[in-house]
Amino acid sequence: MLHFEGFTQAKNPDAPNTNEDRIVAIPGRVYAVIDGATDLSGLRYDDRLGQGATGGHLAAQAVAEALAVAGAGAFAAQPEPNELIASLNDAIAATYQRIGIPAEEIASGRQRFRAAFSAALVCGDMVRLIALGDCSIRLNGQPVLDHHFPGDTVLSKARAAAWAILVAKGLDVDSVRPLARQFIVQGPASGQALPGPLTEDDLATILTSVRADPAVLAACGNDLGVADFILGAGLEGIRANPGGFDAMVLDGVSDAQPVVRLLDVPVADIETLELSSDGYPTQPATADIAAWEQSLAEADRIDPDRIGPHASTKGRVGKNFGDDRSILIIYAGKH
């Protein structure tokens, strides 16, 4: 574990201070990528971790700080995952307390900050890989401890279907984008008023398409009840009750310990480790930053709006990327 390299960029390349991703690299001890996510309120806060900062920024910064403290000295034993997760969650909870966010706002999800992460913790001749949420890990080029939120798959397909209908109605892309987003935020089948010119017939067409989609069925374990649950909840419902939708991350209040993914690997078995946030829609064949960036560029070329082969809950807007992104690569020897 002698060499590492990393890269992180905000989705708005002209505003690097808005990046809600963080990288932690303490050689021979801790390597991590953290992906903060802003609450649905979109409010900004003043705290010692950031001024005028989003909730996602503060969550990622709190987790990064806690991981750096944990790795300040050599580990005498492999870090116990439940204790680690508790300390990271406590760091976010302390941020709520400093800012003075009311408990009911946190409970509702309106002002609940979130952070996913993947990490490699080195102790002697072993490395403990740990992940929560949808940050990824590749070990010697192969994905390990992968997890994809079912809600993302279902709502991405709903967004793409709504997008196609809105375009067919004659709306331009700039008009379609916020309507399709609002459609999945509130929940396509939530019973709320449909955004824009979407009709009840359009909704029926969208729901039929989503429920028949093979990727949706696979993500939901071939259980249409799960798909319908997600379609009724939308992003708002998922953020208010992440445990009910297999979307648990660090948020300062939820008990994420039961869903932490863990793998212990001998240092001698590691050639490369790649830790990345979900800002990369695809993964490259080789372990280097240029390859990761090229894979993103190709995805942006063929599906910039993320309504096709790289369907997502959001896509590119002009020069802005769809999401912040980070990649940290650790090599066993010289590279």
Backbone angles phi, psi at 208, to 5 degrees: -60, -45
Question: CA-based angle 32:33:38, to the nearest 5?
Answer: 135
CA 164 vs. chain centroid, Å, equals 25
Summarize the confidence of residues 53-81 as an average pLDDT.
Answer: 93
What domains can be seen in the chain, in order of their start residue?
A: 3-149+247-305+317-331 (3.60.40.10), 151-243 (no CATH)
Separation of alpha carbons 141 and 333, rounded Å: 16
Contacts of residue 218, Cβ cutoff 8 Å, sequence gap at least 6: none
Q: Where are the alpha helices (DSSP H) in 48-172?
A: 55-70, 81-99, 103-108, 150-168
Q: Which uninterrupted H or E stretch holds 233?
A: helix 224-240
Contacts of residue 25, Cβ cutoff 8 Å, sequence gap at least 6: 4, 6, 31, 32, 328
Place of tokens 């990490």: 119
Q: How many CB atoms lie within 10 A of CB 308?
A: 13
Sorting pLDDT into bands at 50, 70 and 90, what band is 156? very high
Separation of alpha carbons 259 and 240, rounded Å: 17
Q: How many CB atoms lie within 10 A of CB 218?
A: 12
Residue 73 pLDDT more than 90?
Answer: no
Per residue in 201-251, pLDDT tens? 999 999 999 999 999 999 999 999 999 999 999 999 998 889 899 999 999
Could you tell me what percent of the chain has a pLDDT over 70?
99
CA distances from 38 to 86, 152, 223, 303 (A): 21, 16, 30, 24
Contact 248, 254 (CB under 8 A): yes
CA distances from 142 to 25, 124, 162, 210, 273 (A): 21, 23, 34, 30, 9
CA distances from 48 to 57, 58, 91 (A): 12, 9, 13
Per residue in 87-145, pLDDT tens? 999 999 999 999 999 999 998 888 999 999 999 999 999 999 999 999 999 999 999 99
Summarize the confidence of residues 6-24 as an average pLDDT.
Answer: 96
